[in-house]
């Protein structure tokens, strides 16, 4: 059974909880651009949780050395379980996502699917990694933004957050713009131009000045297909 939520919470489209060991690396981004607008419009509620608040002992310890030896430090079970279970006691979560290089590769269809969820937790790892038991017991999905290693999961969490939030109702003043982005149709986006029509000997394609929307649409589809064929032929497969 879904847990009770106050009326104000039910009116919003989505809530995103971000768990991190370095919250200041997250919060500044939330006060800018589309993510800020989406919060002000009530499309999303974003709450950042400092993992150290659930840390152990006098120094709020959240990590320890790995069993079996080796370099690096591992995030412990206790603080992460405490934070996530406290949130789960307040509401049901559709996804609890761990940002990790060995997760599934993030892409536009995943962003589209996540934008339909109501409650999501993003867990940003740090140091060498997190205790495997956290992944086994709590995590419902693991996402990677690419085949490389970063200092922590904060940047990947922000990438996922931005890609999802911009799709929510009220996040963008021009909602149609999000539907025409690269990858939404399976293709890269067509070239774009604005004023002036002539600049340093370079002209805007005449079809875009014609006012014939049928021809413009056909041109955009053709050029998008050509760009995709040259730069990302794997998408056409």
pLDDT digits (tens, 9 = 90+) for 39-77: 999 999 999 999 999 999 999 999 999 999 999 999 999
Q: What residue numbers bound the domain in which 135 lies? A: 7-165
pLDDT greater than 80 at residue 174? no
Structural domain contains residue 133? yes
Tokens of 113: 């699917």
Residues 6+ apart with CB under 8 A from 210: 216
**Cα 219 from Cα 205, distance rounded (Å):** 10
DSSP classification of residue 41 = T
237 confidence band (pLDDT: 50, 70, 90): confident
- Choosing from 115, 134, 165, the residue where a domain stops is 165
pLDDT at 12: 57
- Choosing from 138, 165, 192, the residue where a domain stops is 165
108 confidence band (pLDDT: 50, 70, 90): very high
Beta bridge partners, 19, equal: 49, 123
pTM to 2 decimal places: 0.86
Same domain, 120 and 205: no
Same domain, 161 and 199: no
Query: Exposed, middle or buried: residue 166 (CB in 10 Å: 0-12, 13-18, 19+)?
Result: buried
């Amino acid at each position: 059974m879904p847990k009770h939520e106050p009326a104000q919470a039910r009116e919003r489209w989505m809530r995103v909880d971000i768990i991190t060991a370095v919250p200041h690396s997250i919060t500044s981004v939330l006060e800018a651009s589309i993510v800020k607008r989406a919060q002000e419009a009530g499309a999303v509620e974003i709450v950042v949780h400092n993992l150290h608040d659930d840390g152990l002992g006098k120094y709020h310890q959240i990590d320890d050395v790995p069993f079996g030896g080796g370099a690096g430090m591992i995030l412990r079970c206790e603080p992460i379980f405490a934070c996530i279970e406290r949130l789960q006691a307040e509401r049901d979560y559709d996804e609890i996502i761990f940002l990790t290089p060995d997760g599934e590769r993030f892409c536009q269809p995943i962003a589209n699917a996540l934008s339909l969820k109501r409650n999501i937790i993003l867990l940003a790892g740090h140091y060498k990694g997190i205790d495997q038991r956290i992944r086994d017991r709590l995590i419902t999905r693991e996402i990677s933004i690419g085949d490389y290693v970063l200092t922590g999961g904060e940047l990947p969490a922000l990438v996922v957050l931005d890609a999802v939030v911009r799709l929510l109702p009220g996040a963008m003043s021009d909602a149609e713009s999000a539907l025409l982005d690269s990858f939404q149709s399976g293709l890269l986006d067509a070239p774009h131009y604005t004023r002036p029509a002539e600049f340093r000997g370079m002209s805007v394609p005449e079809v875009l000045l014609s006012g014939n929307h049928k021809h413009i649409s056909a041109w955009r589809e053709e050029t998008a297909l050509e760009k995709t064929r040259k730069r990302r032929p794997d998408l056409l497969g």
